[in-house]
Amino acid sequence: MGNKTNAEIQADYRNSRSLAGDTGEQRMYTWVSTGAKLALKRLALRSNISQRKMLEQLLIQADEEIKEGLSDSEFDVYLGITQ
């Protein structure tokens, strides 16, 4: 007893990711176009970083650019605090 199955080990790992790093991590399940996937690969190779890191940087950069131009009330709407 006490031996975990591969499925149980994988589930434990996935569950632990929500506590990883500074703010935890979330799993994303999605399909993207071949063009978008190839672009991500090229961008990551050019920057010498992983595709995951490149995607994170692109998303955070786009979010920061949007937030910079928002008033306080627009920011609240953007965050989903008010409508």
Q: Is the pTM of this model over 0.85?
A: no
Q: Are 63 and 56 in contact (CB under 8 A)?
A: no
pLDDT at residue 47 is higher than 80? yes
What is the reported pLDDT for 1? 58
| Torsion angle defined by CA atoms of residues 41, 49, 20 and 77, in that order, rounded to the nearest 10 degrees | -70
Instruction: Compute the average pLDDT of residues 1-8.
Output: 82
**26-41: pLDDT as tens digits:** 888 899 999 999 999 9
Instruction: Compute the average pLDDT of residues 51-78.
Output: 95
What is the reported pLDDT for 75? 93
